[in-house]
Structure 1
Amino acid sequence: MLWIQAFLIAILVCFLTLHFLKHLWTHRRYPPGPLPLPVIGGLWRTRFGVSLDTFTKLAKQYGKIYTIWTGPVPVVVLSGFQAVKEGLINHSDDFSGRPATSLIKATFQERGILFSNGHIWKQHRRFGLITLRKLGLGKKGIEHRIKEEAQQLVETFAQANGQPLDPSLPITNSICNVISVLTFGQRFSPEDEDFQKLVKAIAFLQKFGGSVPQILYDMFPWLMKHLPGPHKKALSLFEVMHSFAKKELEKHKEHQTVHDPQDFIDFYLLEMEKEAKNDPNSTYEEENLAQCIIDFFAAGTETTATTLQWALLLMATHPDIQEKVHKEIEDVFGSSCLIYYQDHKKLPYTNAVIHEIQRSNYVFLFGIPRQTEKDVNMQGFHIPKGTLIVPDLHSVLLDPEQWETPEKFNTNHFLDMDGRFMAREEFLAFGAGDRACVGEQLARVELFIFFTSLLRAFTFQLPAGIKELSLVPALGLTAHPQPYKLCAIPRCST
């Protein structure tokens, strides 16, 4: 009896070994990477987690284009400026898809803009860009609303009377309200219960993204659906965001303002009405609208809010740079003139500081994954259609071949010898190609208006007795600062 069991076990081991060797042989043309083991793939190399130097170490060992298997799924990573540029710009159409992972299917449901594909994506991306322009993005109209939110934040900071404060929640509330104005046409009080549920949902989901439970959910959805854990909370919070969007949508339908559109929902409902008559294949429908709203909040809140948190932390850590920014603003505008985004050309040093904040403390660990739309040959490697692609934008912004001091905060990265602002091709903080960030211009306007408003009003200092604050990021879907407090000391001209 024992010999029969031993024989069956031997047969099973042989079968698994042959299957494993066949797997390696059939995928031999993929870029090199960690040996993919059964079940776990190459995740053993990352210890089932991601740190800031995980991808750096893999790129040094395997090259600028390498493959890491997450279970049975190959993920091709592009590292460094040249590889990312070739992938996202030279092969823009080929790399324009989004992967439909288990979590994305369960949450974003392949609707909206961020994680949709095909006709839905093309139609909604185009509509999103056009509508943002109609709403005045880049013009003084929307800047007026952004300046109102920036002033609200200044007043909130002023209420602390120079005492230590945690800026994270006030900043998040303000940026979230900018998105609210664009999508709903109104701002919410920080005390609004539903609004705070939305803010907390966004905060939790950014921590959940990239975590071990999220990776396990994508690898073993059939198992994770039956197990307790943070993935259950993440799914429920997506429902909270969806309900919030649907509630505001119903309010707009009741008030019937679509023929005098004031916000994104109004423009969308008007487009729905037009397309229903003209295009039987139109993808404009309420579920896609609700998902677009979620996309705006998910992609537009945490990223900009995190960048502003880094900005204040870095200014408190580099008081000399902070003073140079304030002096430039005062020299050009004094204390009374309003500053608009178009004025960034008059403030080259301030503009350079904002860009260096984004470069040195990039908010993502890597770019949002893409998927190949067809077979691609790149640098001698065969990448089949449907392969998941990760552009490592963090490696681009820290590429030692492109930046003089990549690991240091250095405003000279964006200034020429005469002190003029110098745009850099290597600055890919918003991605590139067909999937570049739809809200790039909005984020640029927000960062400039909020940053100049705050630096004009306050001197940011470390609390008494605190010699330094940690610059090591806390990792989730974004790389955000460790919790900190600082003092916003009102300036005499405030």
Structure 2
Amino acid sequence: MDILPVLQTNFPSMVLCVVVFILLWMNRGKRGNFERLPPGPPPAPLVGNLFQIGVAQPYKYYLEFCNKYGSVCTIWLANKPVIILSGYQTIKDALVTQGEEFNGRAQYPLMMRSTNGFGVLASSGQRWKDLRRFSIMTLKNFGMGRRSVEERVQEEARSLVKAFDKFDDAVKLIFFNPKELLCNAVSNVICSIVFGHRFEYKDPEFLLLYNTVIAYFDVLNSPIGILYNIFPKIVKRIPGRQKAMFALLQKTQDYVKNQAEIRLKHLDANSTPQDYIEAFMVKMIQKKDLPNSEFHYDNLVSSVWNLFSAGTETTSSTLRQALLMMIKHPDIQARVHKEIDDVIGQDRSPSMDDRSKLPYTDAVIHEVQRSADLTPTSVPHKVNVDTEFKKYFIPKDTMVLPLLSSVLIDPKLWKNPENFDPENFLDMEGRFKKNDAFLAFGLGKRACLGEGLARAELFLFFTALLQHFTFVGTKPPEEIDTSPSFCSFGRMPRSYDCYAKPRA
């Protein structure tokens, strides 16, 4: 019998068998660590549950899995298990009660590639603790939670109102897309904190920062971003927009490092207290003789990038969705107008002291955040050690996804979770009502560090814009789609044009 034709005919099958054998051999002995994982959908060989999860809106599939298998369940991304946490109590038990075990940061490849594992967002263990403490101290030194930050936001809000006002040419209103202006305003607040001053929106240095943020989230929330996070070694070799984004990111990181060095060299009699604080921070970072010190340029640059990227995108997207919801619900917009007119009027800028006097406006802002649900699964966590949780065993370094969506739409926790309804945050007397289930900023020690700044920006920008404008769509409210245009890592608001009609 001639064996050559037989080998040629069965060659593809033989290759497949060899590949499967090699993969099984490489993973020999590992399965024992996963025998007590939480239940979940059966994975397919090699690819896991990838084909059971949609590229768009994967969090909806996670919800379905949790409804079927329980509040703690396991999915497989290729050959790696991922633990999904669903429901307020389960998420709280993990991130608060057992926070030390669950506060690690998963090695999300796209994030790791953009930060090299440095910075407060991407770090774990002692490095994260040191950087978190350093970041909180630095933000406080720069005015976080004090009047100085509020004044920065108010200044930028006035500039934003002027920018919106340019779309009224005294003859007719001009429709426009508010995305860029909102992103510019939010980013400029962070610039004023980090660099000590705001930029004009067309400044080349400002455009570098702005364009990098846009490019990063464009990749992160695209199919290529999803594939990069699952198959990084393969996708990083494929041409595409991810390569252009990484090149742009490198320019931004070089710019931040250069700005830090400039702050150190240019101190004189005219320097402000903030200049000296910045120089002190840079000197700390420059020290090379500190054993195991996490205060070095790589962490400084990545932490600044964390502040820019996360702070700019989430807050500006929330504001963009807020204006869209006002266009969709003109009755709610009218009620916000009346409350602002009664409390603030037209002769002064809104301040944070006004928030307690504007319960309905405050409720609308919170409801925008709840219903928008911009980060359905939070930034991925990991367990730092082998962990017992809810009678299951989770091996060290396993990725964990807290499903925040499951809390924000829970009918047991909200009056009307399926619809946009500010009454979700109001009591029977119309007073603002807090709700522990409001997890828009996360939960536990890895919750958003910039929450205080984000809250100030959302309130002051939103009230300033509604104080001066009535927002109208380019088509009837009933035809406006408020669902996100694409969902993967985060939920991105739909792009739209609108009119900003000046109020008398």
State TM-score, norm by structure 1.
0.91
1:269 pairs with one of 282, 290, 293:
282
SS for the counterpart of 1:487 is strand
In the TM superposition, what is the alpha-carbon distance from 1:34 to its structure 2 partner?
2.4
Matches within 5 A, 1:85-484: 85-161=92-168, 162-256=173-267, 260-262=273-275, 265-266=278-279, 268-272=281-285, 279-463=290-474, 468-475=479-486, 477-484=489-496
Q: Is the 8 A contact 1:34 1:68 kept in 2?
A: yes
* 1:286-327 CA distance string (max 9 Å, x none): 221111111111111000000000000001111111111121
Distance 1:465 1:42 in 2: 41
Q: How many Å apart are 1:154 and its aligned residue?
A: 0.5
Q: Does the 8 A contact of 2:83 with 2:400 survive in 1?
A: yes
Q: Quick check: 127-136 or 101-110, which moved more?
A: 101-110
Q: Which runs of 4+ in 1 moved over 6 A?
A: 16-23
Shift in Å, 1:52: 5.4
SS for the counterpart of 1:32 is coil
State the AA in 2 paired with 1:429: A
**Secondary structure at 1:164 match in 2:** coil
Q: Percent identity?
A: 37
Residue identity matched to 1:89: V
Change (3 A) 1:263 1:227: farther
- Distance in 2 of aligned mates of 1:452 and 1:268: 35
> Which amino acid in structure 2 is aligned with residue 373 of structure 1?
N
Is it true that 1:489 corresponds to 2:496 in the alignment?
A: no
Contact 2:366 2:425 in 1 (8 A): yes
Q: 1:61 to 1:17 in 2, by over 3 A?
A: farther
Q: Quick one: structure 1 residues 13 and 178, their matched pair in 2 at CA, closer, same or farther if it must change by over 3 Å?
A: closer
Alpha-carbon separation, structure 2, partners of 1:449 and 1:123:
32
**What letter is aligned with 1:260?**
P
Any conservation in 2 of the 1:65–1:77 contact (CA below 8 Å)? yes
For residues 371-394 of structure 1, the C-alpha deviation after alignment (integer angstroms, 9 at most, x for no partner) is 101122222221111111111112
Q: Are 2:52 and 1:45 aligned?
A: yes
Hey, what's the Cα distance between the residues in 2 that align with 1:81 and 1:429? 12
Contact 1:208-1:477 within 8 A present in 2 as well: no
Secondary structure at 1:435 match in 2: coil
- Provide the rounded CA distance (Å) in 1 between the counterparts of 2:272 and 2:205: 28
1:251-303 deviations in Å (ceiling 9; x for gaps): 32331378832498445225447x768x5432212221111111111111000
What is the SS of the residue equivalent to 2:255? helix
Contact 1:462–1:468 (CA<8 Å) still a contact in 2? no
Q: One-letter code of the match for 2:38?
A: P
Distance in 2 (CA, whole Å) between partners of 1:142 and 1:13 is: 58
Cα distance in 1 for partners of 2:160, 2:283 equals 33
Q: What SS is found at the alignment partner of 2:74?
A: strand
CA distance, structure 1, for counterparts of residue 58 and residue 72 of structure 2 = 19
What letter is aligned with 1:491? R
Instruction: Name the CA distance, whole Å, in 2 between partners of 1:308 and 1:285.
Output: 34
CA distance in 2, matches of 1:451, 1:77: 34
Distance (whole Å) between structure 1 residues aligned to residue 165 and residue 445 of structure 2: 42
Residue 328 of structure 1 aligns to which amino acid in structure 2?
E
The 3 A distance-change label for structure 1 pair 26 and 290 is closer
User: Displacement of 1:328 after TM fit?
Assistant: 1.3
3-state SS of the aligned residue for 2:400? Answer: strand
Structure 1 residues 222, 464: closer, same or farther in 2, change over 3 A? closer
Corresponding pairs, count: 490
How far residue 210 of structure 1 moved from its aligned partner, in angstroms, is 4.4
Post-superposition offset of 1:21: 10
Cα distance change, pair 267–335 in 1 and its aligned pair in 2 (3 A): farther
Q: Which runs of 5+ in 1 are unaligned?
A: none
TM-score, normalising length: structure 2:
0.90
Could you say what secondary structure the match of 2:81 adopts?
strand
